Amino acid sequence: MIKFILHKIMKNLTINIMFLSLTILTWVSCDKTVTEPTTCELQGRWIYDDYPNTMIEFTDSLQYTIYSVDGKFGTRQDAIPNPHTYWFEGDSLVTDLNFGNKSTCKPYFKCNCMVLELHSPFAIAKMHKEGFDPATCP
């Protein structure tokens, strides 16, 4: 009889733990970012919010990194050598970092396509279009 009762308790405990785990995983994985319609384009010049002297310029398949010393960014000719290729796999942006290394993230646009957030498993990179003041976007 005790064996039967212990078995029932363990079974109920296991079911409760599984339910709680699934609930927590669902809650944690829900993305609360508001995404605007997919009419936004990645191509263009984007300045990192946390590194305002660093800009990424996306062309049709290349990602250039351009640095600024005086607050003004140059052209692609001023970019560091060897731009990275990028492509989309579904809704994920994949960047070839060379030597077999890749970065995968999901782009989310805000503020009429003027703000870009790149969500990866490790961090969120926030960027804004060149000439846009991110302080005007909540």
Segments making up each domain of the chain, as ranges: 1-30, 44-136
pLDDT at 71: 85
HEC string for the chain: CHHHHHHHHHHHHHHHHHHHHHHHHHHHHCCCCCCCCCCCCCCEEEEECCCCCEEEEECCCEEEEEECCCCCCCCHHHCCCCCEEEEEECCEEEEEEECCEEEEEEEEEECCCCEEEEECCCCEEEEEECCCCHHHCC
The residue assigned the tokens 């609930």 is 23
> d(Cα 100, Cα 95) in Å, to the nearest integer?
11
- Is residue 13's pLDDT more than 70? no
- Is residue 21's pLDDT more than 70? no
> d(Cα 19, Cα 17) in Å, to the nearest integer?
5
- How would residue 3 be classed by pLDDT, with cut points 50, 70 and 90? low
- Is residue 19's pLDDT more than 90? no
Least confident segment among 3-12, 35-44, 86-95? 3-12
118-136 pLDDT tens trace: 999 999 999 999 999 999 9
CATH architecture of 44-136: Beta Barrel (2.40)
Contact status, residue 127 vs residue 118, Cβ threshold 8 Å = yes
Query: What residue type is assigned to position 103 of the chain?
Result: S
pTM for the predicted model, two decimal places: 0.70
